[in-house]
C-alpha cells in the first residue's frame, strides 16, 4: 500500500527564468519565493509532495502568488515523484528552448494563469478602493482651489482695468513718436534706393564676368570627365579579366584541396586492402593511435540504448569523438517522456556528473539559437547577435556563470552550427598555438586570437599549399578554427567589400559530403559572385543549367528550393551522367550533387551515376573496374566488353579506395 501511495505523488520542478536554474520545489521561504532542492535521492525528504488527486498544489500556488513579488519569474512543471531524478536532465535540456519544445513540455507544465488572474483581481479591488479615497480628497482640494481662484480673478480684473488706462496713455505717446519715425524713414529710403540702383549696375557687370568664367570651367570639367570615363572603362575591363583569372585559380585550389583530403586516407586504405607492406615501399610506419580519454569500461552503454541509439550503429568517427569528451555528429535519438517515445535529432556527448560518473547528454537540434534571453548570466547585445549569426562565434571574451558552481568566469561563446545550441568554454581551457601548418603566428597575432577576435591570415599547409583564411577561437570546437569560407566571405560582401580577393578556406563545409565542383558548371560562364537572389531574398529563376534546359515544372521547383534532376549532365571525363541541382540557402547559390541531397540524410541513394562520378570525378576506385584505362560510362560498375575484361585481369596498383 505504501508503494502504491508513492506512485500517486507528484513534485514540482521550478525554473528560474532569470538565471535559468532548474530544481525541485521544497516549499516557500519568508518572502514567498520557492525553496529549492537538487533532484537527488539524498534530498528526496525535502521535496514538497502533492497527492495527484488532492488540492494541496492549488493551495500552494495561491500562497505563492499572494506572497511572491516576482511570480512571473518562475515556471512550474509537475513530475511524478519517483521519476523526477531521471526526467529532470531531459526537462532541463528541453527548457533551453521552451518555445520549440512546447509540445513535449505541455503534459508537465503547470498552468498558473488562473492564480495570476485571481491575484490581479484582488490587487485591482484594492487599487479601486485607494483611488476612491484619493478622488474624495482631490474633490475637496478642488473646491478650495476654486474659491482661491475666484478671489484671485477679482484682484486680476481690478489690476487689468488700471493697466488698460496706463496702456491708453502710452499708446498716444507711441503714435506721436511713430509719425516722427515715419518721416525720417521716408527720407532714408530715398537715399537707399539711389544706392541700390548703383549696386545693381555693379552686380550686373560682375555677373556677366562670372558667367563667362563658369562657361570656361564647365568646358574644362567636361573634358576631364570624358578622360576619367575612358580610364574607368579601361580599369573595369582589367578588373574583369583579373577577377576571372582569380576565380578560376580559386576553383582549381578548392578542387585540389578536396581531392587531397579524400585521397590521403584512401591511398592508405587501398594499400592495406592489397596487402602491400609500407616498409617495402620505403614509407614510414604509421604512428600508434593515441588512447581514448575515456575507458570503455567507464561508460554505461545501456544508457545509450535508453535513448534509442545502439553502440554498433555509431560510426568510428562518432565513437572517437564520444570517447574523448567530444560530440558526435547528428544522430536520431528516441527519448521517452511521459510514457511516450519521441524521435528527435541530436548530438551526443559524455559529461562527468557531480559524483564523478559519466552521463550521456543529448544536444537536441533547435530551430534557431535563443539569443533573445540571457545566457548563463550574460545578455547578448545587438552587435553580439549579429556576430553570432554571421560567423558562429561571439568574437570577444565575456563573463558567464559556471552551470555547476554558479561562479562567473571569463569565456569564449559560440553557436554549435549543427544544433544551434549556444556553448561556452573557459579561456584557460583553450590553447592558442604558435603555428598553423607551416605558418608561424606572431605574439601580436596570438593575442588577437586569445581575445576572441577574428584573424585574417595567409596559411601554408605542410604540403606547401597556400590560401587565405580567417582564424578564430571556437567554443564549440574548444580550439582555433578556420571560420567557414561562406560565412566570412558573405560578411565581407554585406559590408560592401565586394572587390576583396576571395580565397578558399581549408574547411569549406559540405553538409552531405557529396558536393561537386558546382562553380565550373554555371551556365554560360557566369561569374561566381553573381546575384542568385532577388532583393527580397527570394530565389532568382533560371531557365537552364549548362546543357539541361528546364521545363516549366523544373523552373517552379528550382524557385521553390526543391531538387532539379539534371539528366544531361556530364562528369569530369565528359561522360553522360545524372546529377542533382538545388539552391543552397546557407551559401546563397545553387549547388550540384552526385546524389539527391534531400535523401542523403535518410537513405543512401543508389542511382546509375553514383559509381561513375566517384571514379571519374573524385578519383576513387571501384574494385570491379580498378584497372580500366577508359573512364566509366553511365551505369557502368563492371567491364563492358572483352577488351576491358583483359585490362581488369592485369595486376595493377590501385590509387584510391573502394566504392561501397
- 209: pLDDT strictly greater than 90: no
Rg (CA), the chain: 39
Read off φ and ψ for residue 39, nearest 5 degrees. Answer: -80, 65
Q: Which of 102-106, 142-146, 201-205, 384-388 has the lowest mean pLDDT?
A: 201-205
Per-residue pLDDT tens over the stretch 577-628? 888 899 988 788 899 988 888 775 444 434 556 676 677 766 677 777 777 7
Strand stretches in 419-523, DSSP E:
422-426, 435-436, 439-440, 455-460, 466-474, 479-482
pLDDT at 394: 94
Q: Which of 47-51, 305-309, 461-465, 528-532 has the lowest mean pLDDT?
A: 528-532
Taking the C-alpha atoms of residue 517 and residue 264, their distance in angstroms, rounded to an integer, is 19
Taking the C-alpha atoms of residue 389 and residue 371, their distance in angstroms, rounded to an integer, is 10
pLDDT at 223: 53
Q: Is the dihedral of CA 382, 387, 392, 398 positive or negative?
A: negative
Cβ(601)–Cβ(512) under 8 Å? yes
* Neighbouring residues of 413: CB distance < 8 A, sequence distance ≥ 6: 375, 378, 388, 393, 394, 398, 400, 422, 423, 424, 475
Stated pTM of the model: 0.37
pLDDT at 354: 77
Taking the C-alpha atoms of residue 660 and residue 652, their distance in angstroms, rounded to an integer, is 20
Residue with the bigger pLDDT between 448 and 255: it is: 448
- 347: pLDDT strictly greater than 80: yes
Taking the C-alpha atoms of residue 307 and residue 297, their distance in angstroms, rounded to an integer, is 19
Residue with the bigger pLDDT between 54 and 472: it is: 472
Taking the C-alpha atoms of residue 36 and residue 12, their distance in angstroms, rounded to an integer, is 10
Cβ(474)–Cβ(393) under 8 Å? yes
- 102: pLDDT strictly greater than 80: yes
Cβ(447)–Cβ(480) under 8 Å? no
> Highest-confidence range of 164-168, 232-236, 628-632, by mean pLDDT?
164-168
Taking the C-alpha atoms of residue 439 and residue 447, their distance in angstroms, rounded to an integer, is 16
Question: Which secondary structure element, helix H or strand E, spans residue 584, and what is its range?
Answer: strand 576-584
pLDDT at 168: 79
Cα distances (Å, whole numbers) of residue 520 to 237, 517, 592, 593: 22, 6, 10, 13
Per-residue pLDDT tens over the stretch 390-407? 889 999 999 999 888 889
* Neighbouring residues of 196: CB distance < 8 A, sequence distance ≥ 6: none
Per-residue pLDDT tens over the stretch 353-370? 878 888 888 898 888 899
Only one residue has cell 573524385, namely 618
Three-class SS of 8-39? CEEEEEEEECCCCCEEEEEEECCCCCEEEECC
DSSP 394-420: --S-EEEE-TTT--EEEEEEEE-TTT-
HSE toward the beta carbon, residue 229, CA cutoff 13 A = 6
What number of other Cβ atoms are within 10 A of residue 439's Cβ? 15
pLDDT at 230: 54
Percentage with pLDDT > 90 across the chain: 15
With cut-offs at 50, 70 and 90, classify the pLDDT of residue 7: low
Residue with the bigger pLDDT between 450 and 138: it is: 450
C-alpha cell belonging to residue 18: 532569470
pLDDT at 264: 44
Question: Which secondary structure element, helix H or strand E, spans residue 256, and what is its range?
Answer: helix 113-273
C-alpha cell belonging to residue 373: 534571453
With cut-offs at 50, 70 and 90, classify the pLDDT of residue 208: low
Cβ(600)–Cβ(563) under 8 Å? no
C-alpha cell belonging to residue 244: 576571372
Q: Is 565 helix (H, G, I), strand (E, B) or coil?
A: strand
Taking the C-alpha atoms of residue 474 and residue 421, their distance in angstroms, rounded to an integer, is 13
Q: Is the dihedral of CA 648, 654, 659, 660 positive or negative?
A: positive
Cβ(37)–Cβ(23) under 8 Å? yes
Taking the C-alpha atoms of residue 534 and residue 333, their distance in angstroms, rounded to an integer, is 39
Q: Is the dihedral of CA 37, 43, 45, 51 positive or negative?
A: positive
Pairing of strands 34-37, 49-51: unpaired
Across-strand partners of 544? 549
Taking the C-alpha atoms of residue 447 and residue 436, their distance in angstroms, rounded to an integer, is 15
Taking the C-alpha atoms of residue 92 and residue 359, their distance in angstroms, rounded to an integer, is 14
What 8-state DSSP symbol labels residue 43? G
Cα distances (Å, whole numbers) of residue 394 to 388, 447, 457, 459, 586: 5, 16, 19, 23, 19
Q: Which of 530, 587, 588, 534 is nearest to 243 (CA)?
A: 530
Pairing of strands 479-482, 466-474: antiparallel
Q: Is the dihedral of CA 363, 366, 371, 373 positive or negative?
A: negative
Across-strand partners of 79? 11
CA 557 to chain centre: 27
Amino acid at each position: 500500500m505504501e508503494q502504491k501511495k508513492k506512485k500517486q505523488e507528484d513534485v514540482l520542478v521550478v525554473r528560474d527564468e532569470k538565471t535559468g536554474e532548474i530544481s525541485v520545489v521544497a516549499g516557500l521561504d519568508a518572502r514567498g519565493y520557492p525553496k529549492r532542492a537538487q533532484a537527488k535521492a539524498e534530498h528526496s525528504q525535502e521535496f514538497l509532495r502533492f497527492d495527484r488527486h488532492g488540492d494541496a498544489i492549488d493551495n500552494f500556488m495561491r500562497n505563492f502568488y499572494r506572497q511572491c513579488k516576482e511570480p512571473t519569474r518562475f515556471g512550474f512543471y509537475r513530475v511524478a515523484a519517483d521519476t523526477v531524478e531521471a526526467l529532470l536532465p531531459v526537462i532541463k535540456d528541453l527548457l533551453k528552448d521552451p518555445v520549440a519544445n512546447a509540445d513535449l513540455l505541455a503534459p508537465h507544465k503547470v498552468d498558473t494563469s488562473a492564480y495570476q488572474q485571481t491575484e490581479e483581481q484582488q490587487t485591482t479591488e484594492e487599487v479601486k478602493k485607494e483611488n476612491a479615497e484619493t478622488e474624495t480628497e482631490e474633490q475637496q482640494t478642488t473646491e478650495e482651489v476654486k474659491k482661491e481662484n475666484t478671489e484671485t480673478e477679482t484682484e486680476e480684473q481690478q489690476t487689468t482695468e488700471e493697466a488698460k488706462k496706463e496702456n491708453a496713455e502710452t499708446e498716444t505717446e507711441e503714435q506721436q513718436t511713430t509719425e516722427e519715425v515715419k518721416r525720417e524713414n521716408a527720407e532714408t529710403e530715398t537715399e537707399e534706393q539711389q544706392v541700390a540702383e548703383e549696386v545693381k549696375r555693379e552686380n550686373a557687370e560682375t555677373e556677366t564676368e562670372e558667367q563667362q568664367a563658369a562657361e570656361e570651367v564647365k568646358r574644362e570639367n567636361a573634358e576631364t570627365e570624358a578622360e576619367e570615363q575612358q580610364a574607368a572603362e579601361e580599369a573595369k575591363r582589367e578588373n574583369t579579366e583579373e577577377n576571372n583569372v582569380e576565380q578560376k585559380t580559386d576553383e582549381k585550389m578548392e578542387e585540389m584541396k578536396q581531392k587531397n583530403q579524400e585521397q590521403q586516407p584512401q591511398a592508405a586504405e587501398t594499400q592495406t586492402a592489397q596487402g602491400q607492406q609500407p616498409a617495402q615501399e620505403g614509407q614510414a610506419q604509421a604512428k600508434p593511435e593515441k588512447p581514448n580519454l575515456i575507458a570503455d569500461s567507464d561508460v554505461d552503454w545501456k544508457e545509450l540504448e535508453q535513448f534509442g541509439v545502439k553502440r554498433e550503429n555509431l560510426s568510428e568517427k562518432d565513437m572517437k569523438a564520444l570517447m574523448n569528451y567530444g560530440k558526435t555528429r547528428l544522430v536520431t535519438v528516441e527519448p521517452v517522456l511521459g510514457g511516450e517515445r519521441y524521435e528527435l535529432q541530436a548530438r551526443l556527448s559524455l559529461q562527468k556528473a557531480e559524483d564523478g560518473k559519466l552521463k550521456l547528454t543529448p544536444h537536441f537540434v533547435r530551430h534557431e539559437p535563443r539569443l533573445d534571453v540571457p545566457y548563463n548570466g550574460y545578455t547578448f547585445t545587438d552587435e553580439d547577435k549579429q556576430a553570432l549569426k554571421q560567423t558562429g562565434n561571439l568574437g570577444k571574451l565575456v563573463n558567464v556563470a559556471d552551470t555547476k558552481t554558479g561562479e562567473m568566469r571569463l569565456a569564449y561563446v559560440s553557436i554549435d552550427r549543427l544544433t544551434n545550441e549556444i556553448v561556452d568554454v573557459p579561456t584557460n581551457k583553450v590553447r592558442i598555438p604558435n603555428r598553423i601548418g607551416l605558418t608561424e603566428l606572431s605574439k601580436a597575432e596570438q593575442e588577437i586570437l586569445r581575445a576572441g577576435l577574428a584573424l585574417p591570415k595567409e596559411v601554408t599547409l605542410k604540403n606547401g599549399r597556400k590560401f587565405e583564411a580567417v582564424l578564430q577561437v571556437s567554443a564549440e570546437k574548444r580550439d582555433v578554427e578556420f571560420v567557414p569560407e561562406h560565412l566570412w566571405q558573405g560578411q565581407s560582401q554585406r559590408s560592401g567589400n565586394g572587390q576583396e580577393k576571395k580565397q578558399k578556406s581549408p574547411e569549406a563545409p559540405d553538409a552531405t559530403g557529396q558536393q561537386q565542383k558546382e562553380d565550373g558548371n554555371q551556365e554560360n560562364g557566369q561569374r561566381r559572385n553573381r546575384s542568385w537572389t532577388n532583393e527580397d531574398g527570394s530565389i532568382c529563376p533560371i531557365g537552364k543549367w549548362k546543357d539541361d534546359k528546364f521545363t516549366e515544372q523544373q523552373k517552379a521547383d528550382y524557385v521553390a528550393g526543391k531538387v532539379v534532376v539534371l539528366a544531361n549532365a556530364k562528369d569530369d571525363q565528359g561522360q553522360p551522367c545524372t546529377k542533382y541541382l538545388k539552391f543552397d540557402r546557407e551559401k546563397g547559390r545553387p549547388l550540384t550533387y552526385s546524389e539527391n541531397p534531400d535523401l542523403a540524410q535518410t537513405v543512401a541513394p543508389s542511382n546509375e551515376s553514383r559509381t561513375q562520378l566517384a571514379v571519374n570525378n573524385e578519383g576513387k576506385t571501384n574494385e570491379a573496374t580498378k584497372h580500366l584505362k577508359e573512364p566509366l560510362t553511365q551505369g557502368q560498375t563492371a567491364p563492358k566488353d572483352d577488351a576491358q575484361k583483359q585490362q581488369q585481369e592485369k595486376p595493377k596498383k590501385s590509387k584510391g579506395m573502394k566504392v561501397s
